[in-house]
Amino acid sequence: MQNITQSTNDILNSIPQLKAESTIVIGFLLVIVVDLFLKKSEKLVFAIAILSLLISGTFLVLKMQNMGESQILFNAMFAISKAGNLFKLLVLLASILSLLFFSQDERLKNHPKGINDFYSIFLGGVLGMFLLISSANLLMVFLSIEMISLASYLMVNYNAYQNKQAEAGMKYVLFGAVASAIMLYGISLIYGFTGTINLYGNEMVNGLNQIGAAGTTLAIVLFMVGIGFKLSFVPFHFWTPDAYQEAPTSVTSFLTTAPKIAVFGFLFLILPTFQGLNNSVFNQLILMVAAASMILGNTIAIFQDNPKRMMAYSSIGHTGFILMLFLLPQMMILNALLFYLAIYLLMNVGTLMSFAHLENKFRATLISDYKGLGKFVQSISIALVILMVSLIGLPPTAGFIAKFLVFSSLINLASADIWIAVLLIIAAITTVISLFYYLKIPLYLFIKKSEIEFKEKPTSNFLIVLTGLIALAIIVFGLFPSLISF
Amino acid sequence: MGILTILIFLPLVFGVVILLMPKSLTAYFKYLTVAVSLAQLIIASWLFYQFKTGVNFAGVSNLSQYQWIEKLDWIRLDVGSFGTLQIDYLLGVDGFSIGLVWLSALVMLIAALSSWEIKTNLKGYFALFLLLDTAIIGVFCSLDLFLFYIFYELMLLPLYFLIGMWGGVRREYAAIKFFLYTLFGSIFMLLVIAGLYLSVTDPTTGNHTFNMVYAMNPANYSAGFILSAAANVQILGFSARSISFIVVFIAFAIKVPVFPFHTWLPDAHVEAPTPISIILAGILLKVGGYGIIRIAYGIFPEVAVSLSFWMGLLGVISIIYGAMNALAQRDLKRLIAYSSVSHMGFVLLGIASLTAEGLNGAMMQMISHGFLSVMLFFIVGVIYNRVHDRDIYNFRGLANQMPVFTGFVMIAFFASLGLPGFSAFIAEAFTLIGAFSSQAINGLLPRWMAMVAAFGILLGAGYLLWTLQRMFFGTLRLKKEEWQSQLKDLNFREILTLTPLAVLALVLGIMPSLVFNVMSSSVNQFLMLFK
């Protein structure tokens, strides 16, 4: 009886801590209701969506100011911490930028039922990401990953009427379902071995340490399959190129950023659990997938002619690069990780916005269609050059600072561990390789001469303005990275 | 705001101005660029004139002895357990950099004057040109490794576009090849810079620092970090410092370019428009030499000493290999590109000797080759702009057709092949003396290297004189009839460009002390690092 009172009290005390999440839930419900009862409500729904994101962000910021240690809520289901809130803020930033992008996406707007349903799915996805970052329990992890996945499936398949689009969507769903199943199997193994599904606290680590190498290895590898699917690192990347290529561009921009930030945030928060194991399987796994992702992502990207597909492989490469950080103890990587993710999100969204604009205006869907376009749309072409330079990681852009932070975090370990030295060399070489495909875009825009006449379509300049601002931010943060301080 | 900041960012400001100017003013872009370069040259000359010499202003490993120092806190980024990322906006010049700063300003002016041949998309061209100008001066002035690296990489992108958009037929290939080679070197150098940052602490604040002057002092290394000499950290069985030296050396050797990293150079030169060839040969190659001296040798002196034999060997191979290749070329521009490889080999040989003569010679060679190669590429540009052909065998007897031009060609050729009385003679002679005496002084380079290198001068005379004979002497014979009317003698702008270069070659040949005075105390101070 006492136990029940205690847990009820815990739940009641925990509820007020979830203002940010509740705001999104309210927004989600409002969007559905408004869409049901009001006609021509697109503007209103958009306003509700963006407002709920903004208010939720305000709550997060307020919360952060008087937050000490991390708190465990809801009977160890949920954990909030300052770092977690920072990741949530990044997710919000990605979501807000994507939301602005959705509203410009012609393919989404042309859906016979309008775009309102899409907004509600989107808000559901954002909620899933918030829950994932705060998960303190393996079941919670599974639920929130499923929540993100379901939202992503629907978003990719929204308006997928052509065969290719449907195929990509199917691939994504099937692959995701298998990955989830395997992950669930891993979770059940962990529970079987340790008798607990609490990620925080010592029980799980101690339990796993008693099991022996083979058991832990199996459990962790299976668990990481689910994470790998969401992060799309090699060898769980197969769905990425197809899904990113065929999804509406704005959805691609959302998928390459927000869910990844959430999963990286989650991985960061539970890093002590994995690194506390006697078995070094987690580190070995990270070493291998990081190396494989960087090599595969960056080499295959060279051969792509579809810019979105190229960005898919580029994102696999960047995932590998970020994963290198997870070889270090948790306390050493937070700033570098957040900085990299923040810049990566700006670069990716900006790049895909430019692609979308070129597609809207000139029907240019392939890189080879960009031939000679530079002269006609100078502002967006210059912004694209800046973004590409930043994606390569060259100064004076923020991408360079991000890359440098990762390098400088790892370099001192290079002497202690040969494999880290090898990994750093791979990272350096793949950076050089990435030059080939990132520079292809300026090459086609500016250096190649076009043979055909361009037919311009009147489009809004909204995306140009946004891309320009993002490119400017990339340069400013490159020169004054201290402006982003966490 | 200090004078160096003005010198560096003046072009950038006007680059932005050009971007903002309306299309109707296109015709004035080149005059504006020339005016900016001229202003820059005047400032640089004033700096050169005011530069204080003597033991107390040697610079190198002593920060307080640098001149026109500017220091601002720039980036303070909290990076968790590593403390704060301390990056300073730190500028200053010493005897090694002041000459190159002045040379850069001069070369940029010449390049601006030869930009008359550019006809398309002038706004983009001059904006990129001025951006490149900023990056180049910045490289020579920055004393913070991070700042240096930013300027160093900032040179790549404008050059990529300048070669790629206004270049010749295979411009895409040449541009990407140039970019790839340089980035390949520099990305590994970035790892070394990260390692240096972790190992070096600022003696006054105790923070980790990118200050390259502090990195030259072993006392500033904190024990136990990767690049500290005392810790002697091993990576894959090699000392971390040796690996770092080699990595940094390769990064700059690609720029110089030293055999076997030189293959980008002929392509880039041949495809680039004349002004860009001028910048490439006149300054970019010197960035490599400067980096080897200041960073590779300055920060890793003990490794440099142990590998000096190999450095010297690479220098000698570059001299002979470049000259042999030059002999085999039909394309005049390619010939001059390979002659650059050969001449820059002397720089490496002089540095490797680690003697006062050798280093003075190497610095002199950089400056002398700076304006001589500018002259040579300008000469190629003169012919190419008139008939769009550069094949040596398509011309004969040009001396009758273009007498003034031939006069300048003869000055440039004779100066380049090291005729006494011209600057290259002084430079090459000093380098060879240094290399020759190295065995007796510090036992680093065997005598045969100097002898073989001297043979390179002979080969140089071979390809230059042979070219002179093939193209300019004899009776006039051209590939096409109409060329005769197109091949007019030099116009006023071209004479104006070539005259100061020719005068400089002669003045520095007769009074080399103009340059030696400025750098000798820095060279002596630099050699103290290796004691």
Give B185-228 as a 3 state SS string.
HHHHHHHHHHHHHHHEECCCCCCECCECCHHHCHHHECCCCCCC
Residues facing residue B211 across a β-bridge: B144
Q: A 317-376 residues with CB below 8 A of B?
A: 331-336, 375
Of B156, B165, B235, the CB nearest to A394: B156
Distance CA(B180)–CA(A457), nearest Å, equals: 37
Please give, rounded to a whole number of angstroms, the shortest distance from the CA of B224 to a CA of chain A.
10
Chain B CB within 8 Å of residue A389 CB: yes
Question: In this structure, is residue A237 part of a structural domain?
Answer: no
Distance CA(A186)–CA(B55), nearest Å, equals: 71
Closest CA to B304 of B357, B359, B352: B352
Contacts B240 to A, Cβ<8 Å: 415
Structure tokens at B420: 């006494």
Chain B CB within 8 Å of residue A11 CB: no
Of A331, A333, A443, the CB nearest to B172: A443
What CA–CA distances, in Å, run from A46 to A34, B193, B529?
11, 48, 67
Q: Which of B150, B152, B197, B207 to mutate to test the interface with A (most CBs of A within 10 A)?
A: B150
Q: How many angstroms separate the first and last alpha carbons of chain A? A: 44
Question: Is the separation of the CB atoms in A24 and A119 below 8 Å?
Answer: no
Of B74, B183, B194, the CB nearest to A432: B183
Q: Do A439 and B176 make contact, defined as CB atoms within 8 angstroms? A: yes
The pLDDT value recorded for residue B95 is 87
Q: Which of B134, B187, B227, B246 to mutate to test the interface with A (most CBs of A within 10 A)?
A: B187
Distance CA(B129)–CA(B138), nearest Å, equals: 14
Contacts A423 to B, Cβ<8 Å: none
Structure tokens at A122: 């989107």
Length of chain A: 486
Distance CA(A230)–CA(A17), nearest Å, equals: 27
Given its phi and psi angles, is residue B395 left (phi above 0), alpha (psi -120 to 50 degrees) or beta? beta
Please give, rounded to a whole number of angstroms, the shortest distance from the CA of A450 to a CA of chain B.
13
Mean confidence (pLDDT) of chain B:
87
Contacts B156 to A, Cβ<8 Å: 394
Instruction: Write the pLDDT tens digit of every residue in B266-290.
Output: 888 888 898 999 999 889 999 999 9
Between A4 and B413, residue with greater pLDDT: B413
Give the range among A329-333, B190-194, B503-507 with minimum mean pLDDT: A329-333
The pLDDT-based confidence of B230 (bands split at 50, 70, 90) is: low
Structure tokens at B458: 């002979």
Q: Do B235 and A421 make contact, defined as CB atoms within 8 angstroms? A: yes
Q: What is the ipTM of this complex?
A: 0.88
Run of H or E residues at A310: helix A307-323
Question: In this structure, is residue A197 part of a structural domain?
Answer: no
Distance CA(A30)–CA(B36), nearest Å, equals: 61
Of B77, B156, B164, the CB nearest to A447: B164
Chain B CB within 8 Å of residue A428 CB: yes
Please give, rounded to a whole number of angstroms, the shortest distance from the CA of A16 to a CA of chain B.
31
Please give, rounded to a whole number of angstroms, the shortest distance from the CA of B479 to a CA of chain A.
30
Domain ranges of chain B: 307-531
Q: Closest chain B residue to A375 measured between Cα atoms?
A: B121
What CA–CA distances, in Å, run from A283 to A141, A211, B387?
21, 18, 64
Chain B CB within 8 Å of residue A447 CB: yes
Q: Do A432 and B75 make contact, defined as CB atoms within 8 angstroms? A: no
Contacts B153 to A, Cβ<8 Å: 394-395, 400
Residue B51 pLDDT greater than 70, yes or no: yes
Q: Do B75 and A389 make contact, defined as CB atoms within 8 angstroms? A: no
Residue B313 pLDDT greater than 90, yes or no: yes
Of A333, A334, A411, the CB nearest to B191: A411
The pLDDT value recorded for residue A368 is 85
Q: Do B80 and A331 make contact, defined as CB atoms within 8 angstroms? A: yes
> By a Cβ cutoff of 8 Å, what residues of chain B touch chain A?
74-82, 85, 121, 149-150, 153-154, 156-157, 160-161, 164-165, 171-172, 175-176, 179-180, 183-184, 187-188, 190-191, 194-195, 197-198, 225-226, 233-236, 240
Number of domains in chain A: 1
Q: Do A408 and B235 make contact, defined as CB atoms within 8 angstroms? A: no
Range of the domain at A462: 280-485
pLDDT in tens, chain A (486 residues): 567 888 888 788 778 888 888 999 999 999 999 888 887 888 888 899 999 999 999 988 888 887 767 788 877 788 888 889 999 999 999 999 999 998 888 888 777 777 888 899 999 999 999 999 999 889 999 999 999 999 999 888 887 778 888 888 888 899 999 999 999 999 999 999 888 888 887 888 888 888 888 888 898 899 999 889 888 888 888 888 988 888 889 999 998 899 999 999 999 998 888 888 887 888 889 999 999 999 999 999 999 999 999 999 999 999 999 999 999 888 888 888 999 999 999 999 999 999 998 888 888 888 888 888 888 888 888 999 999 999 998 888 999 999 988 888 888 777 677 888 889 889 999 998 998 899 888 888 888 877 777 777 777 888 889 999 999 999 999 888 888 766
CA angle B4, B6, B11 (to 5 degrees): 120
Question: Is the separation of the CB atoms in B289 and B351 below 8 Å?
Answer: yes
Q: Do B176 and A443 make contact, defined as CB atoms within 8 angstroms? A: yes
| pTM of this structure | 0.92
Residue A248 backbone phi and psi in degrees, to 5: -55, 145
Q: Do A335 and B77 make contact, defined as CB atoms within 8 angstroms? A: yes
Contacts A424 to B, Cβ<8 Å: 191
Residue B81 pLDDT greater than 70, yes or no: no
The pLDDT value recorded for residue B314 is 93
Which whole number is the average pLDDT over B28-55?
90
What CA–CA distances, in Å, run from A273 to A205, A265, A268, A417, A434?
6, 14, 10, 22, 34
